[in-house]
Structure 1
């Protein structure tokens, strides 16, 4: 009996301890301490197995702390519904979270599946998955409009929101400026955010110590994204809602972020003033003021918006008061997050969003101001955007500025300087179109041509003469190019018009098969074919004849034979060290190659990519696979080649043309080893 009582007592103690541990994990989660919440939930999963609310909370905890591989591990279980309870349903928001996590890991095709599911569950939204994937590839592979580099004053702490005013760069950081006795922010386990300043030369190199902003702007709570008026004497900034240094909470015990402003007097920032339209029940943050100081832009999750955070404006009146916040509408805002607005001197709106289609997490978009209306947002593409969070973009002159990112899987944010080198707004380019005979490469006479945009609107329609070509000024983007002529099969070709003058797009037409006339011999009953039938049979091409035709066709890259296999003999497709994006010189080569593949529609290829010997074997293997995939995606993207016709494989450093293990290789030697090969696998 004594033994039984002891056992029951121990069992009760064990259950009590576990229940305490479990409630402790939930308390961490409720208080926004996602780092400790994840650790506690891991223990619970180890002891009790999968439970739905634990899967939900641990997924959110890892997502909010940028541990996306771990978030994916549990989201995969949650969205499968296989391992927890009888209720296998889950909130639609986890489909969107899965889309974000998979995008951050570079798994775009899987990510689009979850985005489509998320949108379909919203009833009013649908997604064309193939179009979405090709759009994402366009963001990755478009010509760079910017060059970027990390600034020297980044640290292991977070830095973001850089603004340059004269010779001083101001930025937000969670590096400590209040001494060791202050509390850390529960979400990050790091100090609260403050605003800092550093003087720089004309190359943005520091010429002074980095110091916290003087005066009364910084406090023991968060001070975040900010902007200055045109004279530099007023600062608008995001700050934890507080009174007399103490946090103010909403009805759910959340401490919202509010907008404040401060005035500089004799070089010193005075006591901040909270803007009147703040409300303790929601956040208003990320200010940007127009060049004429008459309009304030900001982000808020106030009721009545389109989703999570939306972008709003408020009139700054002459008497210093503010107009009612106005939502910028559905062309800018989505059901998800739009934050970090920046209004340029020209009135163009830059902002970050995870609701518009992008490369993953938050991407930077721009909406051009035309006739006092913001146009449809355009994704700035790589290298500004990555698969992680990219945000807080600002310019300090017409071409140069800063943005922030936690790319490379970092848990802290870094500031990057950029220079704009290309056109970010759509403009028309003179583009050349041709209709040619598949067999002869000659122009197809009297061809009827149609060019339609993605919305099936007619861009151009005409019947050409003996010279089947035309030039047209069109915006970059996707089009359907259709051509037909008497005696030829009609062909419709999807194309991607690039940001380039006088680019050439060719559509090939094949001749219609000749109608066979046959009859029976009255005496023998044998089938007698016409002369046309005999000619057709004579013209039918065998596999061997196609092989010989490929070897003899000198239009575009030639075909060569090596070790009994056929290869397209392209000029080298080179890659920069440690990168897999398609270089400008390689794009020219691949564009010509795409025309050849368009001509020979029954040819299938395998793209083999190789790296140099620098780096580890495992890293080089992954890098070569990315390079092969990037090459395949570019050929598919420009509209000529069905991706199913192209295999790709990476070989890492396993098959070098120059053995750098037995000699000291030059940079040119390494460049030769970084290459792609194109084998014909089927024809």
Structure 2
């Protein structure tokens, strides 16, 4: 009898193992097909979840914006397998899921681990409050939980947007919603939509169409369309359908001559077009070869004969090792785009990069009056007005939001709030951020000017105060060259302040070369561009005790020039 029960137990264990293996295979098949809703249900039923199951279950939740479930699953993963075998991308996603669910302290821990530098979200967000240029008031355009809506663009007096509301389309396995179509609608001054109707049936098909852009004369249209056939690509385990940008022309009131742009491909995606005001430059997102990360922002020249130049990557001030998508180029040349690679409030945030002399400056987050802990993307301005639209899934699914904005004057922060620089032991200003430099450059960038103007204000309010300008370089280049470069950065910072009326005798420029990094990027070719960029900086430190920061402003103080 004992032998019988032993045999029966072995059979039951065998059946259980077979069932477990079958369930994992089913879940893996759904996951590789990017059917993440179905995959999550299948993985959830697996009894003994190993490392791969936990990773893929967490991703299935993450990719479908179920951040509470994602955070819980990733936490199980890191508690069970935090032995050096978990790939860095799971640290990155776990940190974002934690941020989305309000677990900021844990999010800082895992972001710090991922970027190999200290991330302090509270400190970062406080400093950002003194640097944003506008405050935003947002309102959801439509209460439509059944569909996903995003990507408004202006077409004359009407707007065009993408939506999953067409129930006649096939179902997209990723999110179990219909494939995207483009819609056209009227819009009033309050941002409300009416007369919503499908866009031209030559544009919409049974695959995804989204992200339209129009020339200023309304005669040319660019838009996204997902390829109807799947192909094998190097980075995917199963065949995938990539995205192309198409161009269409309006002829006798009909959209025609619809063709894919020549630099698109079956092997990578090209998406989210936006056109400069004069129509000479098209901006887009792509994961084409040469990208810094998942998706980067590119520009390409549009020639007068309708041909195109070669796509140009906008570089590390804009692009990171992660996703940069949904560019919008304003008439003043400012680029707005979405990223989850720059430090932000959570998942995708909207950033801007100002253009000067043909290059784009360091990305700036638009602040928490616009961005949330979830995905915020597809920003567009109504030119000539301080209004516009964006999309966000902050309430569960992708929805359209209108916004109005006002110019923002940063508050005058209390001067007594200082921090001790651990390298020098001297008091440093926590209310004024460092300023940063491009690689191998000592030129003051436009985005540094608000910080420097704040320094000017402080120095004018405290006329006996003297500052050291401590400037630094990243680890690329020789020690001697980096020392020279950092000194040049200190000098250029000084000259800016002097040009604003500050006595140069109150400023001491000091270059430190690469000797005082803010992270562990102490050798070339070991860090991301963003991590190197953090070290290319000027800092401001008190070197006079005559008027300490913690004292009140003097009632009557003589100017240095009169002492």
Give the TM-score of the pair, scaled to structure 1. Answer: 0.61
For residues 58-81 of structure 1, the C-alpha deviation after alignment (integer angstroms, 9 at most, x for no partner) is 111111111112111121232344
Distance 2:470 2:153 in 1: 39
Instruction: Tell me the CA shift for residue 8 of structure 1.
Output: 6.0
For residues 208-253 of structure 1, the C-alpha deviation after alignment (integer angstroms, 9 at most, x for no partner) is 2x111023111111112121111112211111113xxx55554640
1:484 aligned to 532, 536, 544, which one?
544
Question: Counterparts of 1:496-575 in structure 2 under 5 Å?
Answer: none
Correspondence 1:108 to 2:93: no
Instruction: Tell me the CA shift for residue 319 of structure 1.
Output: 2.1
Instruction: Tell me the CA shift for residue 186 of structure 1.
Output: 0.6
Classify the secondary structure of the residue corresponding to 1:90: coil
Change (3 A) 1:283 1:88: same
C-alpha contact (below 8 Å) 1:109/1:133 kept by paired residues = no
Matching residue of 1:422: 407
Matching residue of 1:55: 54
Matching residue of 1:336: 322
Distance 2:34 2:544 in 1: 63
Question: Counterparts of 1:275-294 in structure 2 under 5 Å?
Answer: 275-294=261-280
Q: Which runs of 5+ in 2 are unaligned?
A: 410-445, 473-489, 507-536, 556-563
C-alpha contact (below 8 Å) 1:215/1:270 kept by paired residues = no
C-alpha contact (below 8 Å) 2:231/2:267 kept by paired residues = no
CA RMSD after TM alignment:
3.2
Question: Counterparts of 1:31-430 in structure 2 under 5 Å?
Answer: 31-44=33-46, 47-48=47-48, 50-82=49-81, 89-120=85-116, 127-130=117-120, 133-139=122-128, 145-152=135-142, 154-177=144-167, 179=168, 182-208=169-195, 210-242=196-228, 246-247=229-230, 250=233, 252=236, 253-270=239-256, 272-398=258-384, 399-408=386-395, 410=396, 412-422=397-407, 428=450
C-alpha contact (below 8 Å) 1:248/1:255 kept by paired residues = yes
C-alpha contact (below 8 Å) 1:481/1:492 kept by paired residues = no
Question: Counterparts of 1:428-443 in structure 2 under 5 Å?
Answer: 428=450, 432-433=457-458
Of structures 1 and 2, the one scoring higher in RCO (CA 8 A, sep 6+) is 2
Distance 2:210 2:381 in 1: 18
Instruction: Tell me the CA shift for residue 491 of structure 1.
Output: 4.2
C-alpha contact (below 8 Å) 1:81/1:89 kept by paired residues = no
137-146 vs 314-323, greater mean Cα deviation: 137-146
Classify the secondary structure of the residue corresponding to 2:407: coil
Matching residue of 1:27: 29
Distance 2:20 2:398 in 1: 37
C-alpha contact (below 8 Å) 2:282/2:302 kept by paired residues = yes
Change (3 A) 1:433 1:327: closer
Instruction: Tell me the CA shift for residue 407 of structure 1.
Output: 1.2
Aligned pair count reads: 453
Classify the secondary structure of the residue corresponding to 2:45: helix
Instruction: Tell me the CA shift for residue 37 of structure 1.
Output: 1.4
For residues 596-648 of structure 1, the C-alpha deviation after alignment (integer angstroms, 9 at most, x for no partner) is xxxxxxxxxxxxxxxxxxxxxxxxxxxxxxxxxxxxxxxxxxxxxxxxxxxxx
C-alpha contact (below 8 Å) 1:215/1:269 kept by paired residues = no
C-alpha contact (below 8 Å) 1:367/1:376 kept by paired residues = yes
Distance 1:389 1:479 in 2: 33
Classify the secondary structure of the residue corresponding to 2:137: strand
Instruction: Tell me the CA shift for residue 147 of structure 1.
Output: 1.9
